[in-house]
A and B are shown apart, each in its own frame.
Chain A
Amino acid sequence: MLRFLHAADLHLDTPVSAVGGYPPAVAELLRDASLQAWDRLVETASARRVAFVLLAGDVYDGAERGLRAQRRFLAGLTRLSEEGIRSFVVHGNHDPVEEGWSAVARFPDLVRRFEPHEVGSEAFTVDGQPVVVHGISYAVRHTTENLAARFPPATDGAFHVGLLHANVGGPASGHADYAPCTLADLRRVGYDYWALGHVHRAQVLHRGDPWVVYPGNLQGRSPKPSERGPKGAVVVEVDGGRPRTPEPVALDVVRFEELAVSIGDHDVLSLLDELTTRAAPEAHDGRAVVVRARVEGAGPLHAELLSADRRRDVLAELRQRGAEATSPVWWDRLEWRTRPARDLDDLRRRNDFVADLLTTTEGGDEVWTGWIDALPHEVRRLLGDDCPDPADPDIREQAIRLALDHVLGADS
């Protein structure tokens, strides 16, 4: 039976973003995570005895791809080739062929890297099953052309695979609109399987005839929602020339998770225990975990943990526990969204300063967005996309909590 592995968005040597303050051990883990995930991919391809591996772009994280990443990538391809496993590679917006540099002069024999500008095709046979893989790489990062339109139609009875880094669905999809195309573009050529890359959250856009699959990225890169949870590749078995449902295979080394815990009737220790349990590697396939938690709800613990020092103590304790876990658990952040047992409506009924304060928070944007002007321009420039949105509701909520906590704290 024909079996192949489809992965995308390896982002080898990609730095983990939006996480900071970790100790050296965690830093090393995060730095090597993408490379180790790649090693796992190679190991899995070997163990599952796949006929070929499809890598749908963004092998590297940037044009300034690291030497270490290139060497590791080459080593993995070499091993696959030595084991008779073919590899097909296209490059995407993060690693366009004509930008950046390459430390690899020549790929192993069974590796086919598709060039930009023109769709390449390679036909071969696996256990008597004719297979044709078509693919095209990005020449430059900003590739806005519909590359899917270039793919030739399937004219024979072979099993046809399209390998492409693209945004299906256009800007409305919520992803950077590189090589935009539509499902209709992909269905037009009559392929059996479209191995796509670009979207980091795994999803199947079309189930059968053809299968259109984003496997997601190989290793989560940040605490963003699309980067959370299991990451890896899909293994596809082809039975009678028709792919079966792709099987997701988690290959990540570090897993990003976000938790929400209500203080409810917790005391401090039981709260710590629940957080620890839910973030434990055992609850996440044994992976190392980078976790953010939101502590919310109303309860007696709110007042007890109102002090910044105590909150720091809680975080420090969690990090200590995380360092002692079976695999490292890095508590990136605890967001405190607890509130006193008293309801906000009660506070509004007071007809006092607190009630006025709550009225003020319902005011216009000028209350909330003024800070951005006070922020040094250089900081804004340095942060770029990472700079918080002035109207970020989370910041607003945090500000209201801060104001209430401080006023009510002073009251009491």
Chain B
Amino acid sequence: MRIDGWHIDGYGVFHDARVGDLPAGLTIVTGPNESGKTTLVHFLLGMLFGFPNRGAPNRHDPLQGGTYGGRLFVTDHRGRSCTIARGAARASLELTGPDGPLPDGELPVLLGGAGEALYRSVFAVQLADLGTLRALSEDEVRDRVFSAGVVGAGQSAQQALRALAEARDALYKPGGRGTGYRLNRLRAELVDARVARDEARRAARGLPALDREVAELEELAGDLERRGVALRSEEALVQAVLDLWPTWQRARQARVELERLDASRVTPEAARLVELAPVVRALTAELAMVRERRDRRPALAGRVAAHRSGLDAALAALGRADDDGWLDTQPASVEDAAALRRSAEPVVAAAAALEQARARARQLDDALDQERVELRAAGARFASPPLDADAAADRARDLHALVDVLRRREQAEQRLVDARAAAARAEELPRAALDAGAARAASPAPWLAAIVAVAALAALVVAVLAAAGGAPGAAVGAAVLAVGLAVVAVVLRRATRPASRPEVLVPAEGVLDEAVVAAEAARAAVAAELHPLLDRLGVAEPPPPGTVRVWVERAEEDSRRARQDALDRRAHAERVEAQHLAATGRRSRVDADVAAAQASLADTRRTWQTWLARRGLPVGLDAAGAAEYLADLERARQLRALLQEAQADLRRDDDADADFATRVRDAVERLGPAIGVSVPDDADVTAVASRLGDLVGEAEAARRREEAIRADLEARIREAHTAFAVAVGTAPDAVERARELLDEADPVSWRARLERLAVELAATTGERDEALRRHADAGRRRDELVSSADVPALELTVEDRTAQLAAAVRDWAALVQAHTVVEETLARYQRERQPRVVTRAAELFAAVTAGRYPRLEVRDREVVAVDEAGQEITAPALSQGAVEQLYLCMRVALAEAFAEVTPLPVLLDDCVVNADAERLPTLGAMIAAVAERHQVLVFTCHGWFVDELLAACPGAHLLRLPSSRRDVAAAARGR
């Protein structure tokens, strides 16, 4: 691969810098210091292998703008033009061939498999590589020069060998001794673990026998222990019996005394007394109450008599003397008194209302009487009009009177007829009809009203016929007409009623009969009036009508005046009559009120009597009487209650006394005659009871004394049993054995036995202790054996160490193999590749040194220069400039060797800075010679070296970088 050019978008001082058409041979990049030569070298390396991460050295972020990175134009080994484009990110790599994008994997192919490290080691020679040569030790110089020709097999191989050897030898170094080596340490631990395990296994075989020994000794010790326990138990038992003996003896004595006590028990009478002690104590406890009852009896009897007397009086007041039971039949009570008041109230109210109505009636009767007087006076005035005292006036009045009498005679005749007719219809027609009939009879023009009435009748007939004929509309119309005509007829009748006709008072009852009588009387009166009047007129018979008419015409004037007078009197009479009618109406209403009040009073009285009857109270009582009756009844009941209470108290006392006496007698009978007390009569009961109490007290005292003795004896026995239980325990065998011993009652033999047991126990204890000691010893030996014979744990240790040792051996074997591989590769490399490199380097070095050092030799991983005299000069012994030239020759030779397979551009960055002036031409010639076969890019700031290179290679491409940073970009862009 060779570089054809580049385009730097942004990198260090470069921005948009484009270079192209670089030759396959030599390219010289020159410029003063800090013009960007090294930056350009880093750019090229970065384009080929990737840029450093941000913040890393030699990153060269853009200073003049642009996007970090750029493109590199190359031609591959097959002559294809390719472009490598990169940015800051590793993923930004883009590889493009003539036919378009190429996969990233093509880049290693393009680079011939060389990585950055290899490229830097082989193809890129920088000032820094040479500069460090000066600071190195001689050995390091030797190594560096040697490695310069054996890249990968030099420094790196040596480092790898050293690291592998170090790791390998940390595990094991053949021939190495001591536990400093892990293999040896693990081996020793494994051996120890195996020894321990084997010993444990052997020991484990002895375990069964030792187990048996331990078991036998354990059994023996157990037997002896049990024997010792038995002896100690026996010893303890005998000792306990001995200790117990005094107590036991006292208990035995107590039993004897108890038996004796049982034999002399108390008498049956005393026993009965004790048995009946509770009964007797109860009786004596009641004595005080009995006496108290007896003391209060007279007062109680007095209360009974007083209450009896009071009750009798109360019953007598109620009319039921000596009839206590009657009170129970009277349900009335104080609550009934309240109800009584509530029930009597309506009666009182009704009576008051009646009285009020009667008073009002009386008041109205008086008013009516007054009205009647006035009415009668008015009637009288109307019936007897006053005569004018003037004679003329008398004549005129008489003529007028004659006319009037004659007219009234005629009217009286007609009124009589009407009255009689009305009387005939009176039983059927209302009073109004009577009036109407009377009115018709008195009407001066009845025909008009009659015609109208006939018309109304005809209309009515027509209505009936129309209804019957199925014409309801005509029927209704005719009916309405009939009603209207009837009304008109009535009005006409009223309108045509003569004003002079005297109004007749129509009484409410029997009025029509009276009218007939009155009419007859009126006719008689008129007749009576006529003759005197004729007499006064001086005529025997009534004059003829002409005369009369003259007289009448004359007298009409008088008559008009008289009529006017009559009208005035009639108006007065009508007012009086109206007042009388009103008074009569009010009187009638008052009568109704009186009747209602009477009915209400009757109802309430019936209710009251029913209420009384329902409560068994006398029906004739009024409210006050009933209240008083109930009060008497309540008083009687209270007295009876007090009487009954007193009687009950008396009976209770009697019963209690009787019961007490009965129980005293019963107790006496149950105790029998032996106690010397006879059955008492009522009077002696308390004394007998008191006596029984004394007897019982004596008996109980005797019993307590006996029980105290018995308790003491039994306590002694219990004490012995308790002591026995404490001393002997509850084990059946021990109890039985102790009882046997106690039954022997032989303390002397017990003490002898104790002595024998002590001797035997001491011997057994000694044997047991010896067995236990031997058992403990055997157990300890077994435990030691078991712990030392923990085969599984030791087996595990063996396996652990075995595994670790095997793993260490594997690791060691891998390290040995790795070391061997590297070492053999290095040997092969030195054998097959290094000679060619060294030979070529010798050619170059000879040319550079103008033949002063015609040969180079490799001596034990060291390159030595052989001068013309055949003297070998080691690298450190060469001048600084010669060493750098030798190093340069080695690198160039190596690059040429690599380039045979992987032809890559050679980058030489200020690599001749220390060269002598006389060697510059030869160095230039050497580089030019190399450039004939490979692309070489020389970066230098030395103009004289540029001149030398151009002289050696006139066709070289010269690329000048501007001197100042500011101009760099512009210059680069310009190019």
A399 touches B809 (CB 8 A): no
Q: Is B164 an interface residue (CB 8 A)?
A: yes
Q: Is A342 an interface residue (CB 8 A)?
A: yes
From A348, A361, A375, give the contact of B821 (CB < 8 A): A361
Q: Is A21 an interface residue (CB 8 A)?
A: yes
- A127 and B725 CA atoms in complex are apart in Å by 57
From A21, A22, A352, A392, give the contact of B898 (CB < 8 A): A352
B825 touches A357 (CB 8 A): yes
A68 touches B164 (CB 8 A): no
How many pairs of residues, A versus B, come closer than 8 Å at their CB atoms?
227
Interface residues of A in 378-412 (CB under 8 A from B): 378-379, 382-383, 386-388, 390, 392, 394-396, 398-400, 402-403, 406-407, 409-412
Q: Considering only CB atoms, which chain B residue lies closest to A352 in the complex?
A: B152
A349 touches B108 (CB 8 A): yes
Give the chain B neighbours of A361 by CB distance below 8 A: 821
Q: Is A157 an interface residue (CB 8 A)?
A: no
- A342 and B112 CA atoms in complex are apart in Å by 13
B151 touches A374 (CB 8 A): no
A353 touches B187 (CB 8 A): no
Q: Could you tell me the distance in whole angstroms from the C-beta of A220 to the nearest C-beta in chain B?
A: 13
Give the chain A neighbours of B172 by CB distance below 8 A: 375-376
A346 touches B108 (CB 8 A): yes
A347 touches B113 (CB 8 A): yes
Q: Is A367 an interface residue (CB 8 A)?
A: yes
Give the chain B neighbours of A370 by CB distance below 8 A: 816, 820
A371 touches B160 (CB 8 A): no
Give the chain A neighbours of B818 by CB distance below 8 A: 398-400, 402-403, 406
Q: Considering only CB atoms, which chain B residue lies closest to A308 in the complex?
A: B167
From B205, B799, B817, give the contact of A16 (CB < 8 A): B799
Q: Is A67 an interface residue (CB 8 A)?
A: yes
Q: Is B476 an interface residue (CB 8 A)?
A: no
- A15 and B794 CA atoms in complex are apart in Å by 9
Q: Is A25 an interface residue (CB 8 A)?
A: no
Interface residues of B in 778-808 (CB under 8 A from A): 786, 789-793, 795-796, 798-807
A15 touches B813 (CB 8 A): no
Q: Is A20 an interface residue (CB 8 A)?
A: yes
B825 touches A16 (CB 8 A): no
Q: Considering only CB atoms, which chain B residue lies closest to A398 in the complex?
A: B814
Give the chain B neighbours of A396 by CB distance below 8 A: 817
Interface residues of A in 9-50 (CB under 8 A from B): 13-22, 27, 30-31
B803 touches A19 (CB 8 A): yes
B187 touches A376 (CB 8 A): yes
Query: Which of A17, A371, A387, A412 is most buried by chain B, counting CB atoms within 10 A of its CB?
Result: A371
Q: Is A204 an interface residue (CB 8 A)?
A: no
- A8 and B548 CA atoms in complex are apart in Å by 185
Give the A interface residue count (CB, 8 A). 71
From B151, B190, B809, B828, give the contact of A352 (CB < 8 A): B151
Q: Is B402 an interface residue (CB 8 A)?
A: no
B799 touches A353 (CB 8 A): no
From A18, A66, A68, A371, give the contact of B803 (CB < 8 A): A18
Q: Is B156 an interface residue (CB 8 A)?
A: yes
Given A67-B204, A371-B812, A386:B817 Cβ within 8 A: no
Q: Considering only CB atoms, which chain B residue lies closest to A379 in the complex?
A: B187
A406 touches B824 (CB 8 A): no
Q: Is B150 an interface residue (CB 8 A)?
A: yes
Given A20-B807, A27-B796, A350-B902, A406:B822 Cβ within 8 A: yes
- A357 and B825 CA atoms in complex are apart in Å by 5
Q: Could you tell me the distance in whole angstroms from the C-beta of B678 to the nearest C-beta in chain A?
A: 89
A374 touches B816 (CB 8 A): yes
Interface residues of B in 887-915 (CB under 8 A from A): 898, 901-902
Give the B interface residue count (CB, 8 A). 76
- A370 and B809 CA atoms in complex are apart in Å by 13
Q: Is B431 an interface residue (CB 8 A)?
A: no
Q: Could you tell me the distance in whole angstroms from the C-beta of B162 to the nearest C-beta in chain A?
A: 9
B803 touches A17 (CB 8 A): yes
A64 touches B814 (CB 8 A): no
A20 touches B801 (CB 8 A): yes
Q: Is A354 an interface residue (CB 8 A)?
A: yes
Give the chain B neighbours of A348 by CB distance below 8 A: 113
Q: Could you tell me the distance in whole angstroms from the C-beta of B893 to the nearest C-beta in chain A?
A: 14
Stretch at the interface among B114-122, B344-352, B668-676, B950-958: B114-122
Q: Is A173 an interface residue (CB 8 A)?
A: no
Give the chain B neighbours of A346 by CB distance below 8 A: 108, 113
Given A66-B204, A103-B208, A371-B816, A386:B802 Cβ within 8 A: yes
B799 touches A375 (CB 8 A): no
Q: Is B159 an interface residue (CB 8 A)?
A: yes
Q: 1/0 per position for A339-373, CB-CB distance to B under 8 A?
A: 00010001111111111110111010001101110
Give the chain B neighbours of A390 by CB distance below 8 A: 813
Give the chain B neighbours of A351 by CB distance below 8 A: 112-113, 898, 901-902
- A191 and B814 CA atoms in complex are apart in Å by 52
A399 touches B204 (CB 8 A): no
Q: 1/0 per position for A268-299, CB-CB distance to B under 8 A?
A: 00000000000000000000000000000000
Give the chain A neighbours of B164 by CB distance below 8 A: 402-403, 406
Give the chain A neighbours of B819 by CB distance below 8 A: 403
Q: Which residues of B contact A (CB under 8 A)?
A: 108-109, 112-115, 117-118, 121-122, 150-153, 155-157, 159-160, 163-164, 167, 172, 174, 183, 187, 190-191, 194, 201, 204-205, 207-208, 211, 786, 789-793, 795-796, 798-807, 809-822, 824-826, 828-829, 833, 898, 901-902
30 residue pairs A–B, Cβ–Cβ below 8 Å: A14-B795, A18-B803, A19-B799, A31-B796, A61-B795, A67-B207, A68-B792, A342-B108, A350-B112, A352-B151, A352-B152, A353-B829, A356-B152, A360-B825, A371-B812, A374-B816, A375-B809, A376-B172, A376-B187, A379-B183, A379-B187, A383-B802, A386-B805, A386-B806, A388-B806, A388-B813, A398-B811, A398-B818, A399-B814, A403-B822
A-B interface, 8 closest residue pairs, ranked by CB to CB distance from nearest: A353-B152, A349-B113, A399-B817, A20-B803, A410-B156, A15-B795, A406-B160, A402-B818
Q: Which residues of A contact B (CB under 8 A)?
A: 13-22, 27, 30-31, 61, 64, 66-69, 101, 103, 308, 333, 342, 346-357, 359-361, 363, 367-368, 370-372, 374-376, 378-379, 382-383, 386-388, 390, 392, 394-396, 398-400, 402-403, 406-407, 409-412
